Chains A and B, each alone.
Chain A
């Protein structure tokens, strides 16, 4: 029997891209899944671990954004567009 995974999601944004928090939540769903039927004690530990992993993901995703903006700012300066660097809010 061929089954189709119906639990896909469609996420959209308007006037912006996804935030580190939104992407971290998406990544977490790929990293771990806590069953609703899990033993309450195990579930509690798993949820705590999930929360810790989320904090780490958000931290480094934000760092990635900041680092990329540094790269972009340098490219803009090199291209003679220092005024545009202000838009990046560095």
Chain B
């Protein structure tokens, strides 16, 4: 299962092919109001109820920028270990569409707010560093509904003007699996920072996927196609697989790839060229004359740096160094801020490794089975922490703890209470155990002789008897110790 080498190469008719992928991720900024207007950004509201005059591009309307959205972009840039550009400008990207009331989108073209950065991925074959080209702020568009009426489309501008961060990754990804990890890591970083909630079903996070192929070993980049607006990791991965094969087939049949924009059809699992096949959009970018350049002073950036929470990569290192967790366990714990918060609540009062183990194996087992997120965990961190302490201090065995845990899942009861009520306390009194063990030894003298003469396997017989005689509650460690002493 643990592959040590990267091996995502596709078999063509004539050669093995490598897939090159670059993502442009659009992440909705977590903020109360929109980027250039004061309307609410809440998801799922009554259509056209969160639309101001500016969002609707009424005559004479002008944009005024939201200070907090700037902070969120800088924060995200810092989380991506990227260069924050102190000077940036807003440009108009001009095109016509029903969900774009101004007839242009306010974006950043020449001078984005954030420059180059990187994201580190933990792959089975090692760490992979994926480059970030830039991050810029822009307006989101509204939504058009095409399936409500046979002749018409309906336009809802609630989303029009919400702040987006466009995060352009370098074409460093080489497999659907890497793409999945990239999106998860990016999402996780933004959730840690609280700059984007990463909710792909609500459209807070979407990606345009650029795919090209080349023969394994080649250094040239092939012509890429852009698959627009994919809103789930699974679809991204499926789209990439389809598109890579499509391109390989074309090239091997002697054709060339047309650089074009495509859509992923989730039902047919294929990509197709977009109908609006007119000549490539000429966006005629020019600086927006309604806005002035954005100039950030270093104090502003420093203040944001100071407020940054611990990011996943740093937390992972700390969990490994200070908490002694394995790289694997640490990766799982840091994968979501909610998980790492839960872990730290558990671990602050109990054994680090046991805490990690219990979360990853037992707790996640339950959560997965019930389709729950950790924020809806039936067992609180406090109680799990108590359970672990009860194991650690010998009150119960690990085996008994599992039974107790099952009961905790039912109603998040304090394990101490459960143990009291069910009398599941471990038998850890050495004197008591000695008596029981002495008894067993007395009753099984023949086995004792056999053991002493070399049949060491019989040790487990004695352990088993001791467990039986303690109704399963005997402290295994103590039993072992006492037996070892007495059977010498």
Instruction: Tell me, yes or no, whether A binds B.
Output: no
Tell me the B residues contacting A by CB distance below 8 Å: none
Tell me the A residues contacting B by CB distance below 8 Å: none
